[in-house]
Amino acid sequence: MSIISNTVGYLDGETVLEGFFAYDDAIHGQRPVVLIHHAWGGRDDFVAEKAVKLAELGYLGFATDLYGKGVLGTSNEQNAGLMQPFMADRAKLQKRLLAALAAVKLLPWADNRRIAAIGFCFGGLCALDLARTGADIRGVVSFHGLLGSPANIPVPKIKARVLVLHGHDDPMVRPEQVLALQTELTLAGADWQVHSYGNTMHAFTNPVANNPDFGTVYQPVANRRSWQSMQNFLAETLAD
């Protein structure tokens, strides 16, 4: 195994973005792609590490950039300020997601027939919105993602399989929102699964999350189980 990683620039209109990618150089030819969408703070080390882990599993991991090259929040207030324009304009968000999808398809190691997307927190919503656009990808996985549907796509036609990994005690996503998503996915004709983890709050995959008053708490058991569920889902979804 020889993991190679680097960054690559791409554009959404005039906005310069920078993705991080990783792949195993010991694998010859093209391999399945997994896009990784970051949380509200921007493309950070957390998603870069996930790209490397996915490369170790035989995928081309590509951590997307939603905010612009080098743009990172350093506080909850800054993070909210970065995320909010995209929450308010989901068409703008979807356009940026599709720019990342187009960019990864240009990488020589990418098997464009086999692409999936995952995301964490805000990035979970991004993975779901990419599916909602009807993008021709195999599957999406949301880890403790925001679930609200976009007003600009009231009746999505979803081609991708969907896996939602959710903490039952997440104060940012209430049970009624989970039910609403299940109804939406059913009406969209999607092949979907929702896994809810008991005694689990928001950001359960992030080892530095330790703020129960805010609702973000690392949960190692849910973290391990969700990563395994993702691996099983990708193995099935991205098979030849």
pTM over 0.85: yes
pLDDT of residue 140: 99
pLDDT tens-place string over residues 65-86: 999 999 999 999 999 999 999 9
pLDDT tens-place string over residues 187-206: 999 999 999 999 999 999 99
Domain architecture of the chain: domains with CATH: 29-42+75-237 (3.40.50.1820)
Contacts of 130 (CB under 8 A, 6+ apart): 35, 37, 94, 97, 98, 101, 117, 137, 140, 160
- Distance from chain centroid for Cα 190: 17
Residue 48 has pLDDT above 90, yes or no: yes
* Phi, psi (rounded to 5 degrees) for 132: -65, -25
pLDDT of residue 1: 79
Contacts of 137 (CB under 8 A, 6+ apart): 101, 115, 116, 117, 130, 131, 159, 160
Which amino acid is present at 167?
G
Q: Confidence class of residue 240 from pLDDT cuts 50, 70 and 90?
A: confident
Residue 166 has pLDDT above 90, yes or no: yes
Average pLDDT over residues 110-118: 98
